[in-house]
Chain A
Amino acid sequence: MTVLVDPVAASAAMPHPYRVVSRRVDTYDTATLELEHDIGPLRAFAAGQFAMLTAYGIGEVPISVSGVVDTGDGRARRLVHTLRAVGAVTRALHATQPGGVIGVRGPYGTTWDEPSAAGRDVVIVAGGIGLAPLRPVIRAVVAERSRYGRLALLIGARTPADLLYARELRRWEGDGVDVGVTVDRPDDGWTGHVGVVTTLLTGARVDPANSVAFVCGPEVMMRFTARALVAQGIPAERVRVSLERNMRCGVGWCGHCQLGPVLVCRDGPVVDWARAEPLMSVREL
């Protein structure tokens, strides 16, 4: 994964004010905000990176980008973030309506580096809100379909009502993506799969020896999924996970997000499983 951040320049940055230009409710506690700034060119975010989002007067949280609108010159005026309201800051951000202003610092961290998967099959495994950081990868691979082999998108959700991006899922299926969805708790109308997301791996039509996997979700889900992918034959170096820790400064100075020798905000959040596994298996690290 490529480290794109310039720590000195980035740390000097104060949050830039971005205006919410659209807000889409995804589930009862999750919304997708499209943000735009008008303060001149800023460095574009890449898939996998995160921003520190500020709810003014309340606080700041790290949120991975779920959409990147690149103007083509390496700069971007628009950002998309999918947020789940789980605490004071995220509740405030989630509730921000079009016209409201949110502070944005970033981009920070490593990228999914999906172009390096060109020529190989791609397996994307998402758990819950973990689909949001993977959305830019899916869109990028779909946009350049001929550069990649098969694309399997496997999604686990708590209930059918918790599924993100329902419209896009249907569109991606139409674009030739092999989409598998499973839920832990079906409702009466659910006709899809029931069970953990790793059960869908059996049916994924990819060649493990020539695949790259991208995994995002709760840490326990990522551990089980990464192990299952490796057991199927995907080398650990080609299984990428997105780590989640308590990021504060975003540039590797404060140490809040330290995971052993890794500062997740700087060396992550995206790391390969060969590097992540020994760290994730240490209790309380």
Chain B
Amino acid sequence: MTDQTTRRVSAHPFFAPLTEEQLAALSGDGTPVDYGPGERIFAEGGVADRFWLIGAGSVALDMRVPGRGDQIIETLIGGTVLGWSWLHAPYRWHFGAVAREATATIAFDAASVRQRCDADPAFGYAILRCFTPVIIQRLQATRLRVLDLYASPAQAGRAEARP
């Protein structure tokens, strides 16, 4: 951990619910890691042993589809967090992640953060308060995309209802 890492973690809005003490503890589990364009951060099925705070750049979540290659499901931009499969067993990634451009992150040791959560329920609760809004937002976003809002009636397979 460096002072710079602590400052970056403390300044990040994602961790706004944490107290200064909790931020300091969490920063101890963080390491700056940069990724180049196209560099894979993790692969589907791999061990979910970290999560990342994305500072700059962007990351694509993808999934290998037979016959179609790696299909991008969503992109994440700077200012958000990458990875929550580390929170619950079996601690395996359900999707893959690739840096789409030069991407600066802080990577956190998931096992260590989980240990802190188990040892200090207040810390654990604060961490969950950081992650649950993101999980909710991404669930809602996924539901919106399922609605296919921008589709024409023909694209959506609906009967014509417009003039």
Interfacial residues, chain A to chain B (CB-CB below 8 A):
29, 59-61, 84, 86-90, 127-129, 156-158, 162, 182, 184, 186, 188, 190-196, 198-200, 202-203, 217-218, 220-221, 224
Residues B150 and A199 in contact, CB atoms below 8 Å apart? no
Q: How far is the CA of A89 from the CA of B162 in the complex (A)?
A: 9
Task: Specify which of B137, B140, B152, B163 is in contact with A89 (CB 8 Å cutoff).
Answer: B163
Q: Do B72 and A186 touch (CB < 8 A)?
A: yes
Distance, CA A131 to CA B120, complexed state (A): 49
Bound complex: CA of A59 vs CA of B77, how far in Å? 45
- Contacts known (A186-B72, A194-B75); A224 close to B163, Cβ less than 8 A: no
B163 to chain A: which residues have CB within 8 Å? 59-61, 87-90
User: Are A194 and B72 in contact (CB-based, < 8 A)?
Assistant: yes
Given A196-B144, A224-B140, A203 and B75 touching (CB < 8 A)?
no
Chain B interface main SS type: mixed
Question: What is the CA–CA distance of A190 and B58 in the complex, to the nearest angstrom?
Answer: 14
Counting residue pairs across A and B whose Cβ atoms lie within 8 Å, the total is: 84
Which B positions have Cβ atoms within 8 angstroms of A? 58, 60, 69, 72-80, 100, 137, 140-141, 144-145, 147-155, 160-163
In the bound complex, residues from chain A placing their C-beta under 8 Å from that of B74 are: 194-195, 199
Of the candidates A84, A198, A203, which one forms a contact with B79 in the assembled complex, judged by CB atoms under 8 Å apart? Answer: A203
CB pair B155–A158 under 8 Å, yes or no, is yes
Q: B149 to A220, Cβ gap below 8 A? A: yes
- Kindly report which residue of chain B lies nearest to residue A195, judged by CB atoms: B74
Minimum CB distance partner of A203 in chain B: B77
A-B pairs with beta carbons under 8 Å apart, 8 shown: A88-B160, A90-B162, A182-B75, A194-B60, A194-B74, A202-B80, A221-B150, A224-B140
B141 A199 Cβ-Cβ under 8 A: yes
List the 8 closest pairs (A to B, CB-CB), nearest first: A128-B150, A158-B150, A87-B162, A218-B149, A196-B141, A89-B163, A202-B79, A195-B74
